[in-house]
Amino acid sequence: MPVGDEEVGKKEESKDRNSELKKALSTIVVTEKPNVKWEDVAGLEKAKSILTEVITLLAKFSQLSVDEMRYRTATLLYGPPGTGKSFLAKACATESQVTFFSVSSSDLISKWLGESERLLRSLFEMARASRPAVIFIDEIDSLCGSRELCGNESLRRVLVEFGVQMQGIDKSSTGLLVLAATNEPWELDCFIRKRFERRIYIPLPEESARKKIFKLHLGNTPSSLTEEDLEILAEYTEGYSGSDISSLVKDALMEPIRKCRAAKNFIVTEEGYYIPTTPSDPNGEPFTLTTLPDPKKLIPPLISLVKLNSKP
């Protein structure tokens, strides 16, 4: 084969391979909005304000992104786990009219030599071609950890390639935002950390935010909780993350079902509904959850607050 034909063949093979890589990455494009609004994020007003500002600039006023603004489009969200970093990213995906790429380290790490770097390069090429666009990388420390502690040569090359791509956010990348989240920012390589000139700390929720989180997770579930009860819950959960409160509410939502399952007596209303009661209730009839004539007419107890004498 002549040298010229061999070079053409290599170029065609490279193009085909790049097409395959981009096809493999197509699953990380968020096509369906997560349906998380800014108002669904409790507290974090400063973070929401900054992200709204960046997304608005990115989507509608990218022509205003002068040199001083360009490098500040690389944004790092850091803080304790469960405080809402990924939730903020979902809100960005929902509220913004941009192409949203949601990436994890498993999407970019390959066992084949040189494949990971090509995947990363293809990701940025896709994002640049789809501008305005956002690349969100969750748990970025697992992808870009310190080179001093990384014994894997392949991961080191990925780290260098990522730094090169980040450094390439220049005139050709106007309208591209790289958004990353981590619980351990100190684990990031300094080469990568300095690329994120805008860093937003996401703290544990304050008392007012905790109260709103309880409301959001309770939703339309029937309950007897008053505003005062929610304030008590917010006070008792100091030091809890949003994820901790979510788990607590999910467990509380199962309590009415547990009471129904444990009940041996049920009050039968005139309309034929069944309400669990205590064995000492003279109006109760001997039923169990599995022997109810019409389980669809079961009325579980309301979610309520058991008040303690003192704060634990």
pLDDT digits (tens, 9 = 90+) for 244-258: 999 999 999 898 888
Chain position carrying tokens 């000492």: 280
pLDDT mean over 13-31: 61
Collapsing DSSP to helix, strand or coil, 74 comes out as strand
**Considering the entire predicted model, what is its pTM?**
0.78
Report residue 2 CA to chain centroid gap: 53
Which of 95-104, 145-154, 193-202 comes out lowest in average pLDDT?
Answer: 145-154
Chain position carrying tokens 């791509």: 165
Output Rg (C-alpha) for the chain, integer angstroms.
27
168, two tokens:
């390439």
User: Are 197 and 169 within 8 A, CB to CB?
Assistant: no
Other beta carbons within 10 Å of 265: 18
| DSSP label at residue 141 | G
CA-to-CA distance for 33 and 41, rounded, in angstroms? Answer: 16
Query: What percent of the chain stands above pLDDT 90?
Result: 15
Topology (CATH level 3) of domain 3-201: Rossmann fold (3.40.50)
pLDDT digits (tens, 9 = 90+) for 210-245: 999 999 999 888 888 899 999 999 999 999 999 999
In one letter, which amino acid is 132?
P
Domain boundaries, the chain: 3-201, 207-297
| DSSP label at residue 208 | H
Pairing verdict, β 265-268 and 284-286: antiparallel
User: Are 265 and 279 within 8 A, CB to CB?
Assistant: yes
Is the CATH number 1.10.1760.20 carried by domain 207-297?
A: no
Instruction: Give the per-residue pLDDT at 209.
Output: 92
Per CATH, 3-201 and 207-297 having the same topology is answered no
pLDDT digits (tens, 9 = 90+) for 32-67: 677 788 888 888 888 888 888 877 766 655 555 444
pLDDT digits (tens, 9 = 90+) for 119-176: 888 888 888 888 788 888 888 887 777 766 555 666 777 777 887 787 765 445 567 8
Q: What is the DSSP string of 297-308?
A: GB-PPPB-----
| DSSP label at residue 147 | T
Choose among 127, 99, 106, 154: nearest CA to 22: 127
pLDDT mean over 101-111: 76
CA-to-CA distance for 201 and 46, rounded, in angstroms? Answer: 10
User: Are 87 and 136 within 8 A, CB to CB?
Assistant: no
